[in-house]
Amino acid sequence: MRLTVLGGCGVWPEAGQACSGYLVEHDGFRLLVDVGYAILPQLLQRLSVDELDAVFVSHGHPDHCADLNPLLRARALRDDPPAPLPVYTLAGALDAVLALDRPGMLDAAYALHEFTAGDRLDIGPFRADTRSLPHWVPNAGVRLAAGDRVLAYTGDTGPSPDVVELARGADLLVAEATYVHEVPADSKGYQSSARDAGRQAAAAGATRLLLTHLRPGTEHAAARAAAGAEYGGEIAVATAGLVVDLP
Ligand SMILES: [Zn+2]
């Protein structure tokens, strides 16, 4: 399994970067997990738009799904549109982004598979176990298994025993870490810090930790240090172009 980070910014994209978007590949199958702001140009630097096999979206906040609109435009409006793109998400999560264009214009570009958090999905070679995690809007964390490798991704979430269960024994935990040490009072319970991510990676026994969704301007070294105070495994920060192989 190979993860390529297309974007790892929280909230809004920094210069030359993008918000949440992760290309996960196995056996030639290409799954895009989240499609935040500015993901499409990052994707197009690496593959042609028709080479994508499926999309999974954790929740309906635009920093996780806004670029689904240009992605579908790029497929629907080309001279030789590819087959509908399977898109997996929670019921209703994509209603707003799918309503941006003239009704019907993009309908042939996607096949929507809405699921309930807790469902197990088969997406190409991946077994995807989903889990509801606490956020302001419904958010589905996902545990992707293929071969004998496991990647867990939180989407956006406050700290929760469910994050630990999602990541239990995973080879890689990709964890939202919007803040470094403390989550401000108005976001407590709905977002996490790098310290939370480190604590939960340790509790889960995850082999590696990738911190993502840092607020623009956050010092990456400070986030790594905060997580490292709680967790002894390898820690990195998600930025566009980072590749993590899980051989
Ligand atoms: Zn969110």
CA distance 120 to 114: 12
CA distance 196 to 173: 13
Could you tell me the distance, in angstroms and rounded to a whole number, from the CA of residue 53 to the centre of ligand 1?
A: 24
If one counts every other C-beta atom within 10 angstroms of the C-beta of residue 110, the result is: 19
Q: What is the dihedral of CA 4, 10, 11, 15, to 10 degrees?
A: -70
Query: In the β-sheet with 243-245, what is the strand arrangement from edge to edge?
Result: 110-115, 85-90, 54-56, 29-33, 21-26, 2-7, 243-245
3-state secondary structure of 100: coil
Could you tell me the distance, in angstroms and rounded to a whole number, from the CA of residue 213 to the centre of ligand 1?
A: 9
Could you tell me the distance, in angstroms and rounded to a whole number, from the CA of residue 216 to the centre of ligand 1?
A: 15
What is the reported pLDDT for 45?
97
Could you tell me the distance, in angstroms and rounded to a whole number, from the CA of residue 55 to the centre of ligand 1?
A: 17
Could you tell me the distance, in angstroms and rounded to a whole number, from the CA of residue 79 to the centre of ligand 1?
A: 35
C-alpha 81: how far from its chain's center? 26
214 falls in which pLDDT band (50, 70, 90)?
very high
What is the reported pLDDT for 145?
98
- pLDDT (mean) for 239-244: 97
Specify which residues 54 forms β-bridges with: 31
- Where b means 16+ CB within 10 Å and e means fewer, 194-216 reads bbbbbbbbbbbebbbbbbbbbbe
Summarize pLDDT for 74-87 with one digit per residue, the tens.
999 999 999 999 99
68 falls in which pLDDT band (50, 70, 90)?
very high
What is the reported pLDDT for 181?
98
Could you tell me the distance, in angstroms and rounded to a whole number, from the CA of residue 235 to the centre of ligand 1?
A: 22
Summarize pLDDT for 4-52 with one digit per residue, the tens.
999 999 999 999 999 999 999 999 999 999 999 999 999 999 999 999 9
Q: Where are the beta strands (DSSP E) in the chain?
A: 2-7, 21-26, 29-33, 54-56, 85-90, 110-115, 120-123, 126-133, 139-146, 149-153, 172-176, 208-212, 234-237, 243-245
What is the reported pLDDT for 105?
96
Summarize pLDDT for 188-201 with one digit per residue, the tens.
999 999 999 999 99
Give the mean pLDDT of the chain: 98
